[in-house]
A and B are shown apart, each in its own frame.
Chain A
Amino acid sequence: MNKKLIGVVALVLATLLFNPVWAQDIPEPERSATGGAQTLEDILRRQKQLEVDDSFRSQNLGNPENAPSVSAPLGTRGGVSDSENWRAIRYNEIEPTTQVRGPAADVLIQDGGMPWWKLREGPMITYGGGALLAIIGLLVVFYFVRGKIMIDGGPAGTTIERFKAVERFGHWLLAGSFIALGLTGLITLMGRSFLIPVMGPDAFATLAAGSKWLHNNVAWAFMLGLVMTFVMWVAHNIPNKLDWQWIKAGGGIFTKGHPSAKKFNAGQKIIFWTVMILGFSVSLSGLSLLFPFQMPMFADTFAVINSVLGTSFPTDLAPHEEMQYANIWHSIVAFVMMLAIIAHIYIGSVGMEGAFDAMGNGQVDLEWARQHHDLWVAEVEAKQGKGGSS
């Protein structure tokens, strides 16, 4: 019985062993016709996005033992041809030395550039641009469904100071620079696909160079505005139980009443922390891009994530890979910020009566303030006594 069982197992194993499908996942093409180089089968498999065994190239790196004497033609090459040298560089089999100095000077070929480029030119533009159009469309629908949020009973006619000049300055420094960064960032990302067909490469070259200059340099104003607004408003944006009540009431958007709120309601706090956290992150990746190869961050970040979550993100990154990760992350975070800010611009302008005044001249209608920030009004009036502007 045991002998029969062993025989069956041996037969199955032998079948599997000699079955070309199991024994060899990737068919080995006949390369004698190409002298060992890639064949039509390799090209076709690559076009079908099937796995290609690159060992015929990665292991074909020359043999110094076959080198002719130094006095013979090409003898000084040490038995290694140019193409074999470049293959060795590509497959990271030699440590090249260059006379160029710099953190990335010895990376001569980096295969990861193509997936980065495809991601940037494909899904990044498609999904990022699509999300921007979707949020604008949603807000247009929302405007026609809900209409402008008006002051119940109309404005009081008297005003109260909502934001001091320095607060508004910090806000507009952040907002103005963010809009400039957003527009120039979109031109940089999408211009090649959408603007060159319209305006031609020459005009776009000028626009792209100007966008790059503005994007790189106005970033400092953005970071200053981010720090200013954080310092001025963080104390008012600490989450508390009141925020939960506000969220449960949906901010009063679809109901008659207005949930209580202090200086900032839960919706504004969400915007604040979104801008602060994502703004900090986009600033870090921006600095990494602004000073190429000087501030690599992703290998260390991945190492921390791996140690905490047990994931296996790559931690041995080439300098260019660091830049590629920074670029992709910069774009993703910027798109999420743009979505949040477009909604913020809507509710702060056409979406709500009286809201723009808060950042326009700093004075808001007292009735508006009582309806949207009743506890804050009570605090201000308690401090300074009832009356007009405070």
Chain B
Amino acid sequence: MKVMISAFVAALLIATAAPLVLNQFGWSSAAQTSAESVRLD
């Protein structure tokens, strides 16, 4: 059962990290649909 719980925790960790990583690479929706001259933040 420990493996099962750790896999569920890993899924949540991946879910938390995913948007941060995507934003880091400029793959957010905002970045994808705007030009370089647009300041997003």
Contact = CB atoms under 8 A, between A and B. Distances in A.
Interface of A: 101-102, 165, 168-173, 175-177, 180, 214, 216-218, 220-221, 224-225, 291-292, 294, 359-362
Given A169-B7, A172-B7, A176-B8, A360 B1 contact: yes
Interface residues of B, number: 20
B11 A180 contact: yes
A225 B7 CA distance: 9
User: What is the predominant secondary structure among interface residues of chain A facing chain B?
Assistant: helix
A361 B18 CA distance: 29
Contacts of A214: 15
B15 A220 contact: yes
Contacts of B3: 165, 168-169, 172, 362
Given A102-B33, A220-B18, A292-B29, A361 B1 contact: yes
Interface string B1-41: 10110111011101110110000000101001111000000
Contacts of B7: 168-173, 175-176, 225
B10 to A, nearest CB: 6
A294 B31 CA distance: 12
B21 to A, nearest CB: 9
Interface of B: 1, 3-4, 6-8, 10-12, 14-16, 18-19, 27, 29, 32-35
Nearest to A362: B3
B4 A360 contact: yes
The 5 A-B pairs at the shortest CB distance, nearest first, are namely: A172-B7, A221-B11, A217-B15, A221-B14, A218-B15
Interface centre among A177, A221, A224 (most CB of B within 10 A): A221
A217 B6 contact: no
A390 to B, nearest CB: 18
A225 B11 CA distance: 9
Contact of B14 (A168, A224, A294, A360): A224
Given A176-B11, A217-B16, 19 more contacts: A102-B33, A165-B3, A168-B3, A169-B7, A170-B7, A171-B7, A176-B4, A214-B15, A217-B15, A217-B18, A218-B11, A220-B18, A221-B14, A224-B14, A291-B27, A291-B32, A294-B32, A360-B4, A362-B3
